[in-house]
Amino acid sequence: MAGYNKFDPRIETLIVETTTLWEEGLSGELSDEDKKVVAAEIHRRPELASKISYERAHTGFTRIITVTEEDIARLYEQNIAAE
């Protein structure tokens, strides 16, 4: 569906589920604990995700983020700036 592959604040109000995917080659570089932390942080600030899409669900939308190396760098930079 058109328009469901970029961050949309309007759709964000209707999120009922989230899914995290990992860019090819990236998931093997991170421990399970690191993946949990990165996934939680990127879903907390989905506007920072470079690959985001939404799928319709019966009661709202599912947010799907494919985490990239750039996303991890951006999260790191944002966390450093916040300190």
pLDDT at 53: 97
Segment 28-39 mean pLDDT: 89
Q: Are 22 and 42 in contact (CB under 8 A)?
A: no
DSSP state of 43: H
Residue labelled with tokens 């421990």: 31
Percentage above 70 pLDDT, the chain: 90
- For residue 43, being part of any structural domain is answered with yes
Structural domain including 46 reads: 9-82
Taking the model in full, what pTM does it have?
0.87
Look at residue 75 and give its three-state secondary structure.
helix
Residue 4 lies in a domain: no
Tokens of 16: 């009922």
Residue 49 CA to residue 23 CA, distance in Å, equals 12
pLDDT of residue 1: 47
pLDDT of residue 27: 67
Residue 14 falls inside a structural domain: yes
| Region 17-46 average pLDDT | 91
Considering its fold, how many domains does the chain have in total?
1
Q: How far apart are CA 57 and CA 54, in angstroms?
A: 9
